[in-house]
Structure 1
Amino acid sequence: MRKIIICTFLTLDGVMQAPGGPDEDTQSGFEHGGWQKPSSDDEVGAAVTGWYESCDAMLLGRKTYEIFASYWPTADPDNPFTGRMNRMHKYVASRTLTAVEWQNSTLLKGDVVDAVRELKVSDGRDINVVGSGDLAQSLMRHGLVDEYRLTVHPVIIGTGKRLFADGAIPTALEPVSVSTTKGGTVVGVYRPNGEPRHGSY
């Protein structure tokens, strides 16, 4: 069975909105776009590259799809990620799009939860959910996430969209690998491991 893997950049206070640039996502008046760049380094880049070794597809919400589709088709061909992103299959979850034109893209039909359940049992390798906060939260609520691959950067934003927003399902996580870069970014891979346990001192 294919794994659904959430791959996300986060601030220390859990914000995932607009890591890549000031104009990436200004929804709700967000003014901190591009927060990831100052703390990114070769170690972060190597970790993110490794995230894609086991997958052959991405699952994207509308907004992230539109951001990617406006950039990668004309991105620097010498960037090793350019060819990978363009060749990889993209499954797009959207209630408003009627067509997707970026090469190797498929617009999911019907209920997204049912469509993702079908993807999980289809032929292929793992599927990365990149960005796409609303979609990620829907998948988490329905128990469809098999793994989290997160970079947590040493910056506090205070506002913005969070991956683990209010209403997230309480979940224990099993750490698969956790490391810290020289720049202070925590790179972690975690798998859901049932409900949280409780205790007291």
Structure 2
Amino acid sequence: MRKIIYHVATTLDHYIAHENGTINGFLAEGTHVEDYLKSLEKYDTVLMGRRTYEFGYDYGLQKGQPAYPHMQHYIFSRSLTFDEASQQVHIIDRDEIAFINQLKQTEGTPIYLCGGGDFAGFLLEHQLIDELKIKLNPVLFGKGIPLFGNSKKEVDLLLLDTKVYESGVLLLTYQIKYHKSS
């Protein structure tokens, strides 16, 4: 079974972006960025919500095109449409849980959950995220988009790996352990 890995940058106060969706304040240079970009090569599939996909438009992404050229893209949205999409970009607008459970049964690499917070919270609530890779930035936003949206799901985390960068960024890898009564 393929794992879903939520691989995301966050602040010390658990925000993945400012309220307006911008990420100003995250450290954008250093070996942690190089390591992150190299780690993307290990994924062949990416999941993301509509707002995360549309975030790419500010960086030159064209509607319907893949944000990561070597990955199959599954964008979860009930409102997003494309006039023309590549064969790598698919919109999932219904039966999300069944689709993801089926996708996890297919052959391939672990699945990259790119975001965002609300979508990650939805997946956490349905016990579909297996691992959490946090790029913990030494910054506080005070308010913003929470790591898991409005989810109140209680889980235990088993620390699998840590890496400390000279920039002050920490890479923390956890296995998510869902409570049996959940």
Aligning the two structures, in what range does the TM-score lie when normalised by the shorter sequence? 0.7 to 0.9
Structure 1 counterpart of 2:10:
10
Structure 2 counterpart of 1:184:
168
Q: Which runs of 5+ in 1 are unaligned?
A: 19-24, 75-82, 196-201
- Give the match's secondary structure for 2:146: coil
Q: In the TM superposition, what is the alpha-carbon distance from 1:163 to its structure 2 partner?
A: 0.9
Structure 1 counterpart of 2:104:
120
- Give the match's secondary structure for 1:129: strand
Structure 2 counterpart of 1:64:
52
Bigger mean CA offset, 101-110 vs 149-158: 101-110
* Residues 7 and 72 of structure 1: CA distance in aligned 2, closer, same or farther (over 3 Å): farther
Q: In the TM superposition, what is the alpha-carbon distance from 1:101 to its structure 2 partner?
A: 4.3
Deviations 1:123-181 (A, max 9, x none): 32221111311111000000000111111111111111111455431111111111211
Cα distance between partner residues in 2 of 1:164 and 1:140 = 8
Greater fraction strand: 2
* Residues 45 and 3 of structure 1: CA distance in aligned 2, closer, same or farther (over 3 Å): same
Contact 1:109/1:115 (<8 A) preserved? no
Percent same amino acid at aligned positions?
Answer: 27
Q: RMSD in angstroms over aligned alpha carbons?
A: 2.5
Name the aligned partner's letter for residue 173 of structure 1.
L
Alignment of 1:162-181 (within 5 A): 162-181=146-165
The higher radius of gyration belongs to 1
Cα distance between partner residues in 2 of 1:101 and 1:133 = 27
Q: Which runs of 5+ in 2 are unaligned?
A: none
Structure 1 counterpart of 2:119:
135
TM-score by structure 2 length? 0.84
* Residues 26 and 141 of structure 1: CA distance in aligned 2, closer, same or farther (over 3 Å): same
Q: In the TM superposition, what is the alpha-carbon distance from 1:51 to its structure 2 partner?
A: 3.0
2:25 to 25, 31, 35: 35
Q: In the TM superposition, what is the alpha-carbon distance from 1:47 to its structure 2 partner?
A: 2.8
Number of aligned residue pairs: 176
Cα distance between partner residues in 2 of 1:63 and 1:138 = 14
Contact 1:72/1:86 (<8 A) preserved? no
Name the aligned partner's letter for residue 82 of structure 2.
A
TM-score by structure 1 length? 0.77
The reply to whether residue 146 of structure 1 matches residue 130 of structure 2 is: yes
